[in-house]
Amino acid sequence: MDNPGDDRERIVRELRNWQEIFAAIPDGVWLLDLEGRVIQSNGKFEQGLGIRAEEAVGRHCYQIVHRADGFVERCPFQRMQQTGVPESVELEDRQRGVWLQVTVSPIRDESGAIAGAVHLVRDITERKRAEQQYRSIFENAVEGIFRTTPDGRFLLANPALARMAGYDSPEELMREVTDIERQIYVDPERRQELNRLLKEWGIVREFEHMGYRKDGSV
């Protein structure tokens, strides 16, 4: 017959291991009840949100993350309750000058019903700064920069490219040009040649072609 003392020791050991793993997670993690109140924190929120773990417990997640007294439209916990799947949102804390990615995932009981949630906060400030730096380079470059689909639609274009093509804005260029091969290339076969070279070599340099502007000039 099993020794009850051995079972208790095993349970205590497993609980201690779980707590060590929970505390070691580098991102801020909360366990939430069905109402969205914090029932446990791994203590990383002092860095992530500027509060202590003991201040978070018992409070509603949206009151802390959104600094509000009620639900807000972008609250991922509220959306998770509605959709039943993990929900994520990126938030800018202008007061502290940081960007946070908040992800809320449901915890389900044995019947499959939502019994609570895991609330994770990750500091993405450095990533957002890199994105903003890239955006600045992209927007202010004197060269035309763009992304397209293989079948000839613009996915992205910068102001310099729009000016070269005679459009008032990148948005107008992407909206009106739906077939690059026919609307931009004077010789559509050059576009086909470009695609062939890309498939063969993975990169193309110094490729030249004649193109139409919005007014039809070349």
The whole-number pLDDT of residue 211 equals: 96
* Torsion angles phi and psi, residue 30, rounded to 5: -120, 150
**Token pair 């009850």 in the structure block, residue:** 4
**Distance from CA of residue 7 to its chain's centroid?**
44
**Token pair 């993690």 in the structure block, residue:** 29
* Torsion angles phi and psi, residue 193, rounded to 5: -65, -40
Task: Enumerate the β-bridge partners of residue 157.
Answer: 146
Q: What is the DSSP letter of 114?
A: E
Contact 120, 103 (CB under 8 A): yes
Q: Is 166 exposed, middle or buried (0-12, 13-18, 19+ CB in 10 A)?
A: middle
* pLDDT, tens digit, 9 for 90 and up, residues 168-182: 999 999 999 999 999
**Token pair 């929970």 in the structure block, residue:** 22
**Token pair 């449901």 in the structure block, residue:** 106
User: Mind spelling out the 3-state secondary structure of 27-95?
Assistant: CEEEEECCCCEEEEECCCHHHHCCCCHHHHCCCEHHHHHCCCCCCCCCCHHHHHHHHCCCEEEEEEECC
The whole-number pLDDT of residue 70 equals: 52
The 3-state DSSP class for residue 185 equals strand
The whole-number pLDDT of residue 5 equals: 59
The whole-number pLDDT of residue 23 equals: 72
* pLDDT, tens digit, 9 for 90 and up, residues 26-38: 788 888 999 999 9
Paired tokens of 31: 């366990």
Cα–Cα distance, 36 to 61 (Å, whole number): 6
Cα–Cα distance, 57 to 103 (Å, whole number): 18
Mean pLDDT by groups of 10 residues along the chain of 218 residues: 62 67 76 90 70 81 68 76 92 81 92 92 90 92 94 95 96 96 96 94 94 96
> Over the Cα atoms of the chain, what is R_g?
27
